Amino acid sequence: MTLDNKQTFRDALSAFPSGVTIVSTTDEQGRHWGFTASSFSSVSMDPPLVLVCIANTADSHAAFVDAQRYAINILAQEQKDIAMHFARKGVDKFGPHAFRYGTEDNPHPPMLPGSMASLVCVARDVHEAGDHTVLIGEIQQVELGDATPLVYYNRGFRHLELETADSLS
């Protein structure tokens, strides 16, 4: 089958379940920026590299292209509303949510408590790729949480049901 239109491509991509992240940074003027992303992946273990993609039309695009550091917060199931909020344009994304902000002594990007994990990245590479930009970051710090992950599949959020080895027999 050949790719006959963009909808066919979107339909194929929606068949791939993925986790959901909030990517966050603080610019030189102290403004906080963030976006929801499901296009996130590990790249390398040595050095520890990850990638995340941002739409070129995102309000925060310029801030992330220029960012020296950012956090990738891997969302828990209970954070679905935050994911939806950060996917909107033209809203105060940080005000209604309990992020933990860096200080002069510890200048980390905004991190979201309750996440499955928060990865603090030092910007390594930026690559233009069609209508998105690929941000590659080197992991500087990791905080792990303990919750059920938020999963996006077939254009909707899904509940992940964990099976133990005992339940498979």
Residues in a beta bridge with 152 = 18, 157
Distance CA 48, CA 150 (A): 23
Q: What is the DSSP string of 78-123?
A: GGHHHHHHHTSSSS-SSTTS--B---SSS-PPPB-TT-SEEEEEEE
Instruction: Convert the pLDDT of each residue in 27-63 to its tens digit.
Output: 989 899 999 999 999 999 999 999 999 999 999 999 9
Distances (CA, A) of 106 to 102, 103, 111, 123, 141: 6, 5, 12, 17, 12
Instruction: Convert the pLDDT of each residue in 65-94 to its tens digit.
Output: 999 999 999 999 999 999 999 999 888 899
CB atoms within 10 A of CB 14: 13
Ranges of each domain in the chain: 10-168
Residue 148: strand, helix, or coil? coil
Distance CA 91, CA 152 (A): 22
Distance CA 125, CA 65 (A): 9
Q: Is-above-0.75 flag for pTM?
A: yes
With bands split at pLDDT 50, 70 and 90, how would you rate the model's confidence at 10? Answer: confident
The phi and psi torsions of 113 (rounded to 5 degrees) equal -60, 145
Class for the domain spanning 10-168: mainly beta
Instruction: Convert the pLDDT of each residue in 54-70 to its tens digit.
Output: 999 999 999 999 999 99
Sequence-ordered alpha helix ranges (H) in the chain: 6-14, 61-66, 80-86
